[in-house]
């Protein structure tokens, strides 16, 4: 019998992760004739949508916008039930995609890639998996996602807890029974805000441990009108074009008014109130006026409007004050909800301000803050992710001279990429929605499609031109990183502690790793680079053919 460890599997491309990115990457590369295999640590396809099964999980982008457009047939035959679909429906969709395009035969589930080392001698990536396989690939492509490495704060004593605990990003498949239980939720980001109302009715008592009060706006989710879906589908080409060239990757860019400060308070109120009543994708509020993310005073007009709404909804004025957000609206991920603030009017829900009275430890019985001990049966960590770089750093990635990605990015003074797609010193490695691309500040499937198409075109170009080394040039990434920082620093985004900056993870260097120049302009820049023979990248041929 051959020992798995002795057998080296040779492939053109190895792709990490079977979410939106990995599925489409596999489809494109296979269509182009490259031997490709996707490795997925979970026991099913779907990426974050496979793992985020917590109660209340649903998409907070509009369903018809949040899907693939590479296949008109797929787009037209899939019917979303609601404006904001729940997790199980998105997971069904991704499974449907995997089956429709016969992708499963090249996806290896239950297998984590643990290491990927570039061998300069032979110009190949040596890749190890946790079940002992060794692979040799020309191209190493990460579709690991920006928000997949769970952030579980290192509270003292977690191991001693006698009850059950869960992180929302690794939710079990079996139903968690909250009935009659005293439940503590740590975290009030997009996830906590979805989860809290969804479990409040079932639990005996819910204690929310809040560090930063959040702005949230009503989603007003509803079943889709089939007539509306038909209209969108009938205009597929226009829908796709708009999505690709818009600022945020959505098909309907809103016509923002120039400045919140140029309208009268009454005009502003009318605009904000209309958005509040309509319910919308939360980022829509930022599109009411052009200066909301760059001007503190303008931002305050919207922040004050939402604070007023919180005071109207929450009946206990003292509690309402505890829920009052103070940061610049939109500089943490905008949130939308169904009955979030209303949930605090329930008798069985209480709020603990852990900024004022921090969590000291987890005890066998529950959570101890500086104010006392809260006895709990279940603790839910809705504490988010080690975003942007966490999923890459979970793999031991080494480029030229054995330098690890972590050494290059974290021990160096700055993460540096060219276009968020590649980084110097790591030839033939590509990142789908990598750091310094629009990624999480865009409609993510739009950005994934753009990167996947750019990467597969690039790999085809290398084949056609008989080249086998592709690498970002240091000077190009230097310039791009500087540009990314300058764009971000001209906004209010860098003035708030958020996961965009890595501020949610203790000890993580504070860097803004998302390109804020807009999806459309970014796409044009990437296309221009490709049209100029991949300017800013070094394309060459190794002596030994890979």
Q: Which chain residues interact with ligand N01 by CB under 6 A?
A: 59-61, 147, 153, 186-192, 211-212, 333, 354, 359, 382-385, 440, 499, 504
Cβ nearer to ligand N01, comparing 338 with 504: 504
Distance of closest approach, residue 53 Cβ to ligand N01, in angstroms: 12
Rounded CA gap, 56 and 340, in Å?
A: 11
Judged by beta carbon, residue 42 or residue 546, the one nearer ligand N01 is 42
CB 103 within 8 A of CB 97: yes
**Cβ neighbours of residue 273 closer than 8 Å, sequence gap 6 or more:** 305
Least distance (Å) between residue 337 CB and ligand N01: 11
Q: What is the Cα 526 distance to its own chain's centre?
A: 21
Both tokens assigned to 376: 């709990």
> What's the farthest any 2 CA atoms get from each other in the chain?
79
Q: Residue 50 is encoded by which pair of tokens?
A: 């496979």
Phi and psi torsions of 268, nearest 5°: -65, -50
Rounded to whole angstroms, the Cα distance separating 346 from 366 reads 22
Q: Which is nearer to ligand N01, 116 or 376 (CB)?
A: 376
Least gap, CB of 420 to ligand N01 (angstroms): 17
Q: Which is closer to ligand N01, CB of 181 or CB of 333?
A: 333
Contact 319, 98 (CB under 8 A): no
Which one, 25 or 59, has the nearer CB to ligand N01? Answer: 59
Tell me what percent of the chain is helix, strand and coil, each rounded to the nearest 5.
35, 20, 45
CA distance 181 to 203: 5
Name which of 271 and 281 has its Cβ closer to ligand N01.
281
Q: How far is the CB of 97 from ligand N01 (least distance, A)?
A: 17
- Our CB check for ligand N01 shows the closer of 59 and 484 to be 59
Nearer to ligand N01 among residue 123 and residue 188 (C-beta): 188
Q: Which residues contact 174 (CB under 8 A, 6 or more apart)?
A: none
The C-alpha atoms of residue 327 and residue 305 are separated, in whole angstroms, by: 13
Angle formed at CA 262 by CA 259 and CA 266, multiple of 5 degrees: 110
CB 497 to ligand N01: min, Å: 7
- Name which of 417 and 504 has its Cβ closer to ligand N01: 504
| 180: alpha, beta or left? (left if phi > 0; alpha if psi -120 to 50) | left
For residues 506 and 529, what is the distance between their CA atoms, to the nearest angstrom?
A: 37
Min dist CB 31 to ligand N01, Å, is 28
Min separation Cβ 90 and ligand N01, Å = 9
Nearer to ligand N01, 37 or 51 (CB): 51
Q: Is 105 exposed, middle or buried (0-12, 13-18, 19+ CB in 10 A)?
A: exposed
Cα 292 to its chain centre, rounded Å, is 23
Rounded Cα–Cα distance for residues 108 and 37 (Å): 7
Q: Cα separation of 85 and 222, whole Å?
A: 9
- Distances from the Cα of 29 to the Cαs of 32, 47, 397, in angstroms? 5, 19, 22
Shortest Å, Cβ 381 to ligand N01: 8
We find the least distance from the C-beta atom of residue 439 to ligand N01, in angstroms, to be 10
Q: Which residue is nearest to ligand N01 (CB)?
A: 189
Which stretch of DSSP H or E encloses residue 320? helix 317-322
- Nearest distance, CB of residue 201 and ligand N01, angstroms: 20
Nearer to ligand N01, 169 or 518 (CB): 169
Q: Minimal distance in Å, beta carbon 236 to ligand N01?
A: 23
């Amino acid at each position: 019998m051959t020992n798995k460890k002795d057998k080296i599997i040779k492939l053109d491309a190895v792709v990490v992760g079977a979410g939106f990115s990995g599925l489409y990457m596999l489809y494109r590369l296979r269509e182009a004739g490259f031997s490709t295999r996707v490795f997925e640590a979970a026991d099913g396809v779907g990426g974050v949508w496979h793992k985020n099964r917590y109660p209340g999980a649903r998409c907070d982008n509009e369903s018809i916008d949040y899907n693939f457009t590479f296949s008109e047939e797929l787009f037209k035959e899939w019917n979303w039930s609601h404006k904001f679909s729940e997790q199980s429906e998105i997971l069904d969709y991704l499974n449907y995609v995997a089956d429709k395009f016969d992708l499963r035969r090249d996806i290896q589930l239950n297998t984590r890639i643990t290491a990927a080392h570039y061998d300069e001698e032979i110009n190949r990536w040596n890749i190890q998996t946790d079940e002992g396989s060794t692979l040799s690939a020309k191209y190493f492509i990460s579709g690991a996602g920006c928000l997949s490495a769970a952030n579980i704060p290192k509270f003292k004593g977690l191991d001693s807890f006698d009850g059950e605990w869960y992180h929302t990003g690794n939710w079990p498949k079996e139903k968690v029974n909250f009935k009659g239980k005293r439940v503590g939720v740590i975290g009030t980001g997009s996830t906590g805000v979805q989860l809290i109302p969804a479990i409040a009715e079932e639990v005996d008592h819910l204690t929310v441990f809040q560090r930063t009060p959040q702005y949230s706006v009503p989603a007003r989710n509803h079943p889709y009108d089939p007539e509306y879906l038909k209209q969108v589908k009938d205009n597929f080409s226009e829908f796709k074009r708009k999505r690709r060239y818009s600022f945020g990757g959505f098909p309907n860019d809103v016509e923002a008014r120039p400045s919140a400060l140029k309208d009268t308070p009454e005009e502003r109120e009318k605009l904000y109130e209309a958005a509040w009543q309509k319910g919308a994708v939360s980022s829509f509020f930022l599109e009411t006026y052009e200066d909301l993310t760059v001007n503190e005073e303008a931002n305050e007009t919207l922040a004050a409007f939402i604070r007023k709404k919180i005071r109207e909804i929450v009946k206990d004025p003292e509690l309402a004050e505890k829920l009052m957000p103070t940061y610049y609206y939109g500089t943490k991920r905008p949130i939308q909800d169904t009955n979030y603030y209303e949930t605090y009017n329930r008798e069985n829900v209480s709020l603990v301000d852990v900024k004022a009275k921090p969590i000291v430890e987890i005890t066998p019985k529950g959570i101890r803050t500086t104010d006392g001990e809260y006895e709990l049966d279940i603790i839910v960590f809705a504490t988010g992710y080690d975003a942007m770089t966490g999923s890459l750093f979970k793999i031991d990635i080494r480029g030229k001279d054995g330098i690890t990605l972590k050494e290059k990015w974290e021990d160096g003074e700055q993460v540096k990429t060219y276009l968020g797609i590649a980084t110097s010193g790591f030839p033939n490695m590509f990142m789908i929605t990598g750091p310094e691309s629009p990624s999480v500040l865009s409609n993510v499937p739009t950005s994934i499609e753009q990167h996947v198409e750019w990467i597969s075109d690039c790999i085809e170009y290398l084949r056609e031109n008989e080249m086998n080394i592709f690498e970002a040039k240091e000077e190009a990434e230097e310039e791009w990183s500087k540009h990314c920082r300058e764009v971000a620093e001209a906004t209010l985004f860098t003035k708030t502690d958020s996961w965009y900056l890595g501020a949610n993870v203790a000890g993580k260097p504070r860097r803004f790793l998302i390109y804020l120049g807009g999806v459309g302009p970014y796409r044009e820049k990437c296309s221009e680079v490709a049209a100029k023979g991949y300017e800013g990248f070094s394309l060459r041929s190794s002596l030994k053919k890979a």
